[in-house]
A and B are shown apart, each in its own frame.
Chain A
Amino acid sequence: MRERAEPVHECHECAELLEWAAAYLDGEASAELRSELMVHVHDCAVCARMLRSLQRMVEVFHLIPHQEVPAHVHEQLWIAIRHELDSVRDEDEEA
């Protein structure tokens, strides 16, 4: 059995915190907002855990590298594109 997340609205200020957290995670929170958030998180363990896990999740997202296009997928794409380009060139020549 995996752990379930805590309900996000366990404390009364959480709804407000959610708005702050979004701006905070995107680096858009003002200094004033950040300090209000820190005060709230200091007093509310549920929100503190939530913010930490959100922050970690977003960090991991940013670390996921791009995949290489598999060789056969790349080849299929270029066959289709060259076919499309050739048909346009043929039309131009006919015209």
Chain B
Amino acid sequence: MAEKRSLQVAVPALPVSDLELVRRFQAGKTEAFEELVRRYERKVYNIAYRMLGNEQDASEAMQDAFMRAFRFLSRFQFKSSFFTWLYRITTNVCLTRLRKRKPPETLSLDEPGGESGDVVLEIPDGKGSPEEVFRQKALRERLQAAVDGLPEEYRAVVVLRDLEGLSNEEASKVLKVSVPAVKSRLHRARLLLREELAAYL
């Protein structure tokens, strides 16, 4: 009996699902959107930061993404989870910003090595030997720099799969491409990154 009572008390305290918050928002309770922002602010910021590589751009992209989400949420049709929908808006905002950047500073698998394409992405050599530079923190910084040098589509896949920990299926929904396309882009991206980071791995 005691167990049953405590269950009855616990039920109202269960966290409301994302989709329930979307339903409330669509029913006119706009404060439900604030809770969705609280839940995803950090995630969206990190996706944007990793896609764009600096705080200023990440900040603007996050704001842009949430504003778009706010305007379009009334049309959300419950065909996907809320987060894949929000991450799609976020990656689209970031990809648009990347495409506006000039000139494109990207690595390419089609033009590997060669005199002109030898160092497309500049990774500054550490002052010490590679062994001294070969530490976790340094490697993380190099990884972000190398991610910044990836072509846009590869960058989005690496950010979602390897950095945000989404599955192939989730990343395919966010990016609206097939699962095999996600796998192949991810693999090509990893090969590019590995080549760029060879000295540190």
Contact = CB atoms under 8 A, between A and B. Distances in A.
Q: Do A and B bind each other?
A: yes
Contact of A60 (B43, B63, B139): B139
B201 A57 contact: yes
Interface in B148-201: 158, 162-163, 165, 168, 183, 186-187, 190-191, 193-195, 197-199, 201
Contacts of B63: 76-77, 80
A53 B194 contact: yes
A91 B66 CA distance: 20
Nearest to B64: A80
B191 A8 contact: yes
Interface string B28-41: 10110110010001
A22 to B, nearest CB: 4
Contacts of B194: 5, 50, 53-54, 57
B34 A85 contact: yes
B49 interface: yes
Interface residues of A, number: 40
A22 B162 contact: no
Number of chain B interface residues as a range: 35 or more
A58 B55 contact: no
Interface in A48-95: 50, 52-54, 56-58, 60-64, 66-70, 73-74, 76-78, 80-81, 84-85, 88-89, 92
B190 A81 contact: no
B30 A62 contact: no
A62 B165 CA distance: 7
Q: Quick one: which of A52, A61, A62, A84 has the most chain B CB within 10 A?
A: A61
Ranked nearest first, the 6 interchain pairs of A and B with the lowest CB-CB distance are A53-B201, A5-B198, A61-B162, A22-B187, A5-B195, A2-B199
